A = this chain, B = another copy of it.
Amino acid sequence: MAIWLMLVLMLSSSFHPKSFSTHAINTKKTKPIGFPFSFIQPEQAQASLDAKAVVRLYKEKFYTQTLDHFNFNLNSYQIFQQRYLINDTFWGGPKGNFPIFVYTGNEGGIEWFAQNTGFMFEIAPVFKAMLVFIEHRFYGKSMPFGGSQSTAYSNSTTLGYLSSTQALADYATLILDLKKNLTAEKCPVVVFGGSYGGMLAAWFRLKYPHVAIGALSSSAPILNFDNITSPYSFNDVITKDFRSESENCYQVIKRSWQEIEETAAKPEGLEILRKSFKICKNYITANSLEGWLSTAYTYTAMTDYPTSSNFLNPMPAYPVKQMCKAIDDAKTGINTFEKLYRAASVYYNYTGQAQCFDLNDNSDQLGVDGWSWQACTEMSLLTGGSSKDSIFSAYNYTYNDRLKYCKYYFNIVPRPSWIPTEFGAHNIYRVLKRFGSNIIFFNGLRDPWSPGGVLKNISKSIVAIVAKEGAHHVDLRFSTSEDPKWLRDVRQKEVQIISKWLTQYHNDLINYPSS
């Protein structure tokens, strides 16, 4: 699912909501890293999988949700319609207390997450589990303030209700109500999530142990706050991914940024770049081209899956290797830009159908995106730094960059200490060694987000599964016949652990029936 987009390296500002700010800012480096789901176009989502087949997998429902769980002014009694998807095909029903597997939705339309969490569909029959995918407020069709995104996103008064704590309370409320309506109060709930959804799943187990008996938290950088994780680690992993394939590949990319900028500065330089990279005629700048390339490398590192995939774009198996192959295999006489173009094509044009590539960032029309708001309020994951060995240009990213960006767009000051205050992050191994249970933290070390994840076992039942070869929540994807052994092992281990939680729960039901 969630591949987190390196927007920091993308084009300049993607929106200018009039209600927030008017003065200029260079956002090339300062925009928070975002998730792709808020700006994926519907046709893009549908192109990436056989939508028809997947649509049959669930029913769409709506729940009347409380707008503000934590305040009791009259405003907070407002409600909105929260979407969830449900599949009870495999469910054993309430009589045998069969489980309910819930996906704690992240920053986008929930069908996207349902369609990209094949793991849940595949294990449902084994456990006779019901599947529920709950959409995160302010995304997809779950818009407060009447259902229109433009209204919900229009200013900080409405956007104020977009927060992780509200989302978690939504999930608790919806799950308990759903269970009650199904007379399934005793059916155990296990929560699943990847990326931000994985953070939510882990936090949900920690904050609502009375609602979920366990959590599979995949590729969740819950330690990427308050400088616990270095802001350089994200780009360091991308660097390592490429360098592990070939030193030459890394060097070519690393040296290219200066060459691009020097070329762009020459007369007719932009035209040279346009032709080299087959950029369409409407728009080009050095910055936007660099953003386009960086996005390709970043995405590819995140989704460096061992099988071909079709997530945002069709991609071959081991796409980083393929990119480096394109660079390394280039014959003598082929210049840097041509090499880079071939590499970028692995990401942008694997099918070979694109005639030219559009750099024009027209996301102005989309208005504010939800993740930027979350990043400017509580989600201070700082990941924009590039060390001197980075595959990208060196950059000393600091909290101040975030601050400037947020002041500019929302006239708001982030609260970078809030998430560690609310959910904990410092000394997590020591804290959770004596508290809590039943969480699996999966991380793949090819994933740039992995340094912010939990990479060591914390206790007997709060465990880390680390796959050296793995990328961003690869475990949650549909299985394929080409899956390598390590990936099959990861999933098997997850199934075994979840199975143990359920067994223990059922034993507890028998041993402590009335408590």
Which residues on B sit within 8 Å (CB–CB) of A434? Answer: 209, 213, 437-438, 504, 508
Query: For window 419-437 of chain A, which residues contact chain B by CB distance below 8 Å?
Result: 420-437
Do A156 and B73 touch (CB < 8 A)? yes
Do B73 and A157 touch (CB < 8 A)? yes
Do B515 and A430 touch (CB < 8 A)? yes
Do A435 and B436 touch (CB < 8 A)? yes
Do A433 and B512 touch (CB < 8 A)? yes
* Chain B minimum-CB-distance residue to A71: B160
Do A72 and B422 touch (CB < 8 A)? no
Do B412 and A72 touch (CB < 8 A)? yes
Do A209 and B176 touch (CB < 8 A)? no
Contact of A69 among B66, B77, B161, B418 (CB under 8 A): B418
Alpha-carbon separation in the docked complex, A165 to B422 (Å): 11
* Chain B minimum-CB-distance residue to A456: B515
Interface hub of A68, A161, A206, A515 (most chain B Cβ within 10 A): A515
Interface hub of A206, A422, A424, A438 (most chain B Cβ within 10 A): A422
Which residues on B sit within 8 Å (CB–CB) of A412? Answer: 72, 74, 77
Which residues on B sit within 8 Å (CB–CB) of A435? Answer: 209, 436-438
A432-470 Cβ-contact flags toward B at 8 Å (1 or 0): 111111100000000000000000100000000000000
| Min C-beta distance of A157 to chain B, whole Å | 5
Which residues on B sit within 8 Å (CB–CB) of A243? Answer: none
* Chain B minimum-CB-distance residue to A425: B210
Alpha-carbon separation in the docked complex, A70 to B160 (Å): 9
- Report if A233 contacts B (CB, 8 A): no
Do B71 and A70 touch (CB < 8 A)? yes
Which residues on B sit within 8 Å (CB–CB) of A272? Answer: none
User: At the interface with chain B, which of A113-121, A166-174, A489-497?
Assistant: A166-174
* Chain B minimum-CB-distance residue to A458: B515
- Report if A359 contacts B (CB, 8 A): no
- Report if A75 contacts B (CB, 8 A): yes
| Min C-beta distance of A295 to chain B, whole Å | 28
Query: For window 45-91 of chain A, which residues contact chain B by CB distance below 8 Å?
Result: 66, 68-77
- Report if A317 contacts B (CB, 8 A): no
| Min C-beta distance of A250 to chain B, whole Å | 31
Do A73 and B165 touch (CB < 8 A)? no
Alpha-carbon separation in the docked complex, A125 to B432 (Å): 29
- Report if A377 contacts B (CB, 8 A): yes
Copies of this chain, how many?
2
* Chain B minimum-CB-distance residue to A434: B437
Contact of A210 among B165, B176, B426, B437 (CB under 8 A): B426
- Report if A28 contacts B (CB, 8 A): no
Alpha-carbon separation in the docked complex, A211 to B426 (Å): 10
Alpha-carbon separation in the docked complex, A415 to B79 (Å): 13
Do B430 and A172 touch (CB < 8 A)? no
Contact of A71 among B163, B433, B456 (CB under 8 A): B163
Do A159 and B428 touch (CB < 8 A)? no
- Report if A254 contacts B (CB, 8 A): no
- Report if A271 contacts B (CB, 8 A): no
Which residues on B sit within 8 Å (CB–CB) of A433? Answer: 508, 512, 515
Given A512-B430, A515-B427, A515-B429, is A377 in contact with B210 using a C-beta cutoff of 8 Å? no
Do B160 and A73 touch (CB < 8 A)? yes
Alpha-carbon separation in the docked complex, A166 to B163 (Å): 15
- Report if A290 contacts B (CB, 8 A): no
Do B515 and A160 touch (CB < 8 A)? no
- Report if A378 contacts B (CB, 8 A): yes
Do B161 and A71 touch (CB < 8 A)? yes
A175-203 Cβ-contact flags toward B at 8 Å (1 or 0): 01000000001000000000000000000
Which residues on B sit within 8 Å (CB–CB) of A206? Answer: 209
Alpha-carbon separation in the docked complex, A210 to B163 (Å): 21
Which residues on B sit within 8 Å (CB–CB) of A436? Answer: 209, 435-436
* Chain B minimum-CB-distance residue to A172: B421
* Chain B minimum-CB-distance residue to A209: B435
Do A169 and B422 touch (CB < 8 A)? yes
Do B210 and A428 touch (CB < 8 A)? yes
- Report if A252 contacts B (CB, 8 A): no
Contact of A72 among B77, B169, B378, B432 (CB under 8 A): B378
Chain A residues within 8 Å of B, Cβ to Cβ: 66, 68-77, 156-163, 165-166, 169, 172-173, 176, 185, 206-211, 213, 373, 377-378, 411-413, 415, 417-418, 420-438, 456, 504, 508-509, 512, 515
For the complex of A and B, the 4 pairs showing the least CB-CB separation, nearest first, are A73-B160, A210-B424, A429-B515, A72-B377
| Given A70-B163, A430-B509, A433-B512: 19 more A-B contacts, CB < 8 Å | A70-B71, A71-B161, A72-B159, A72-B160, A72-B412, A73-B158, A74-B156, A77-B412, A176-B417, A206-B209, A208-B424, A209-B432, A209-B436, A210-B423, A210-B425, A210-B431, A211-B421, A211-B424, A435-B436
